Each structure stands twice: as structure tokens, then as C-alpha cells.
Amino acid sequence: MFSKKITTREIALMGVLMALQLILTRFLSIQTPFVRIGFSFIPTALMAMTFGPMLTGVGSLLSDFVGISLFPVTGPYFPGFSFSTFLTGVIYGWFFYKKELTWSRIIVANLLVTIIVDIFLNTLWLYMMMGPIAIAQLPLRVGKNIIQFPIKVFIMYFLGHNVVLQKQLTRFAK
């Protein structure tokens, strides 16, 4: 499944990024039953740049499992949201791993995550859990994504072009 052996340093880096993802998701985000505003996309993007699609997806999935197991503050576990987390990591990894982070690459990756995962799949999961009220809240969710989209794009562009950060990630992941 994975093309290379994972070193101890890479496991440690992945663990730190997963912990950061968990903290940003569970503690440093604004959460309502229908909308979550936060910055957990930052460690996900860093994982994607460093580890590729599968490891980023698996790391994000494990972070979600640990988060929901230790801090079930947002309601019962629903596997659909874990799939969404995995798919987000895979999409970012597909677009960011060992590739130049151009504006177009970052915009397309975020468009796919926003449309497929945030708007379509997560609304479907909410509908399966809560019924038609999830559809009524769709304009609020779309508005949140419209506001957050340029923020994600600019932060990811900055992360991808921060020479010091890229050197540290590359050095640590070797």
C-alpha cells in the first residue's frame, strides 16, 4: 500500500501534525451542529505536502478517531465524517505532494474539497443524522465555505512558499 518505509522521524512528525490537527479541530474552532469554522486544514495541508495522499488520509482519519474517542463534545460518532476527513487528506495529498504549489493547484484542490466534501458529503451526513433541517441550514454552510475559501487558499499558498518551513519539514521527514 505504501511505496517506502516510514522512518521514526516521519512517524514523530506525523504524530505532531495529527495532534495539531486534533487541537485545532476540537479546541480552537467555532462549532455549531451544522457549521465548524477552524484552521485544522493547516496541519492537513502540511501532511499532504510532506507525506502524500494515502498517509495524509490515514493520518487525518486516525486524528479524527482519537479526537472523537477522547473528546466526544460534538455528538455521537458518525463514520461519514471520518470518511470526509480521510478524503480531504487524500485530495490535498494528491495535489500537494512533491508538486509546486501554484495558485491554480491550490485553488482546484480547495474547490474539490469545498464542493465534494464540505458541501456535498458533509451535508449528506448531516441529513442522514438530522433529517431535512440539514438542508435548511445549507445556505449557512455554503456562506461559511465562501468566506473561508480565500483564507484557506492564501494560507496554503504561504505555507507552500515558506522556504524555512519547507526546509524544516523536508529535513525532519528524511
Q: Report the 3 state secondary structure along 65-122.
A: HHHHHHCCCCCCCCHHHHHHHHHHHHHHHHHHCCCCCCHHHHHHHHHHHHHHHHHHHH
Task: List the beta bridge partners of residue 36.
Answer: 31
Cβ(57)–Cβ(89) under 8 Å? yes
The dihedrals phi and psi of 7, each to the nearest 5 degrees, come to -80, 165
Predicted TM-score (pTM) of this structure: 0.87
Q: What is the pLDDT along the chain (174 residues), one digit of tens a residue?
A: 455 688 888 899 999 999 999 888 878 777 766 667 788 899 999 999 999 999 999 999 999 999 888 887 666 788 999 999 999 999 999 999 989 899 999 999 999 999 999 999 999 998 998 888 888 888 988 998 999 999 999 999 998 888 777 777 777 666
**pLDDT the model gives residue 173:** 64
Give me the half-sphere count of Cα atoms (radius 13 Å) on the Cβ side of residue 134. 15
Please, what are the domains in the chain? 8-172 (1.10.1760.20)
Question: How many angstroms separate the first and last alpha carbons of the chain?
Answer: 20
Cβ(110)–Cβ(149) under 8 Å? yes
C-alpha distances out from residue 118 to 1, 99, 138, 161, Å: 27, 24, 11, 26
